[in-house]
Amino acid sequence: MWSYRNPVHLQCGIDAFERTAEFINGRPYVLLTYAHPLFAGLAQRLAQQAGAPLLVIDDVRENPDIDFLRDAAARLYPASCAAEQPPVLVALGGGSVIDSAKCLAAFEGDFARTLDYLEGREQSFSALPIIAIPTTAGTGSEVTCWATVWDPANQRKLSLAHERLYPEVALCDPQLGRSLPRGLTVATGLDALSHALESIWNTQRNPLSLHYAETAAKTIIEVLPRLADDLDNLHLRSRMLQAATWAGLAFSNTRTALAHNISYAITLEQGTAHGIACSFSLPRVLRWAVGHGADIDESLARVFGVDASQVAEAGATQLEALLDRLGVSRELADYGLDDSGWAALVQRSAQGARGRNFAGQPLLGDSHHI
């Protein structure tokens, strides 16, 4: 017995962005985006089609933290309360923008209640509707119901999650990502690969999540290196955006696993981009995953095009080659770690909520290098 659920209405393809006004459908809206000329131009196009927004929050930062979210909520909450009807939040940007929208949508922008909910002091839940327009091919936040909240003051990462935080609609337009630089293209693409692979070696996997994850992983491994060398290729951008969405559909039901739990401390302590922090360890984690479920081994064998009996070494070798080609270091020292620090981090991560989703078993005494 298994089940799968994802309620997000997907609209994918060239010019999907032009349908935003249709889905706003005359409602007041608040736009969340980045302070960049590209996004200012998109905001202007949207205003011409849907009317002026009730409010624009255009200072979203990478890895939005509690201080930023509290400040943004202080701007949103009065506007939301004053509106004749609850506004829809239009999140135009990468995962940081979409995650911020979810955090601000909770309790209609009453961030004090959101913090209470995160700390377990609030049991009820309400949320504003969200239209997600991803401009990167990576996080999958447009099809999940959770958001990452960073708390650097306490050196921790929090996860806000509720069924009501699924976006109403996700408009996935590959044209919006054509100006992304190579570093961001690679980091977000590797984040999507991590989502896909971690959905495969996951205790919450099901046949449909495995299908989405396999398709995503195979596509990313093929397309990302080519895209990194041909950034303006709209066809490759389209394929990567599709793959990132498939990976999102996979981990929307499984969540992530050990590699992501490893990444959080590295991002907090070293400032490493999330997509790099959660992917540099994938070859090692793959070796640990093999042999802990026939469906896992068979799924990974299909991803890497090898026999299931060979997937531990052949799959890990392919991942190592992919990271090397993309210029992503596999050296512990580049992430502020030595052997003992790595062992401690893995042991700690294995006990975390995402670490417990890992279906494999870390072997800290093995001889493999990352």
Identify the band that residue 367 occupies on the pLDDT scale cut at 50, 70 and 90: very low
Give the residue from 155, 176, 197 where a domain finishes. Answer: 176
- The number of folded domains in the chain is 2
Give the residue from 143, 176, 209 where a domain finishes. Answer: 176
Residues 240 and 270 in one domain: yes
pLDDT at 364 (0 to 100): 73
Distance CA 227, CA 240 (A): 8
Tens-digit pLDDT profile for residues 200-251: 999 999 999 999 999 999 999 999 999 999 999 999 999 999 999 999 999 9
Is 93 inside any structural domain?
yes
Of all helices (H) and strands (E), which one includes residue 266? helix 258-270
Residues 145 and 17 in one domain: yes
Residues 222 and 293 in one domain: yes
Write down the pTM of the prediction: 0.95
Identify the band that residue 368 occupies on the pLDDT scale cut at 50, 70 and 90: very low
Distance CA 5, CA 61 (A): 31
Cβ-count burial 47-63 (b if 16+ within 10 Å, e if not): eeebeebbbbbbebebb
Summarize the confidence of residues 63-91 as an average pLDDT. 95
Residues 107 and 212 in one domain: no
- Please report, rounded to a whole number, the percentage of residues in the chain having pLDDT higher than 70: 98
Identify the band that residue 90 occupies on the pLDDT scale cut at 50, 70 and 90: very high
Is 370 inside any structural domain?
no
Tens-digit pLDDT profile for residues 174-196: 999 999 999 999 999 999 999 99
Is 367 inside any structural domain?
no
Decide: helix, strand or coil at residue 234.
helix
pLDDT at 207 (0 to 100): 97
Is 202 inside any structural domain?
yes
Residues 164 and 141 in one domain: yes
Residue 130 burial by Cβ neighbours in a 10 Å radius (0-12, 13-18, 19+): buried
Is 78 inside any structural domain?
yes
pLDDT at 366 over 60: no
Residues 308 and 348 in one domain: yes
Residues 204 and 80 in one domain: no
Is 254 inside any structural domain?
yes
Distance CA 157, CA 63 (A): 10
Residues 198 and 161 in one domain: no
Residues 219 and 281 in one domain: yes
Contact 27, 88 (CB under 8 A): yes
Tell me what the pLDDT averaged over the chain comes to. 96
Is 103 inside any structural domain?
yes
Tens-digit pLDDT profile for residues 194-207: 999 999 999 999 99
| Amino acid letter for position 351 | Q
Residues 194 and 227 in one domain: yes
Closest CA to 173 of 23, 274, 60: 23
> Cα angle at 354 between 65 and 309, to 5 degrees?
135
Decide: helix, strand or coil at residue 139.
coil
Distance CA 327, CA 9 (A): 36
Tens-digit pLDDT profile for residues 296-307: 999 999 999 999
Residues 206 and 337 in one domain: yes
Residue 38 burial by Cβ neighbours in a 10 Å radius (0-12, 13-18, 19+): middle
Summarize the confidence of residues 155-163 as an average pLDDT. 93
Q: What residues make up the domain containing 166?
A: 9-176
Give the residue from 161, 176, 191 where a domain finishes. Answer: 176
Is 234 inside any structural domain?
yes
CATH number assigned to the domain comprising residue 220: 1.20.1090.10
CATH number assigned to the domain comprising residue 111: 3.40.50.1970
Residues 150 and 246 in one domain: no
pLDDT at 11 over 50: yes
pLDDT at 257 over 60: yes
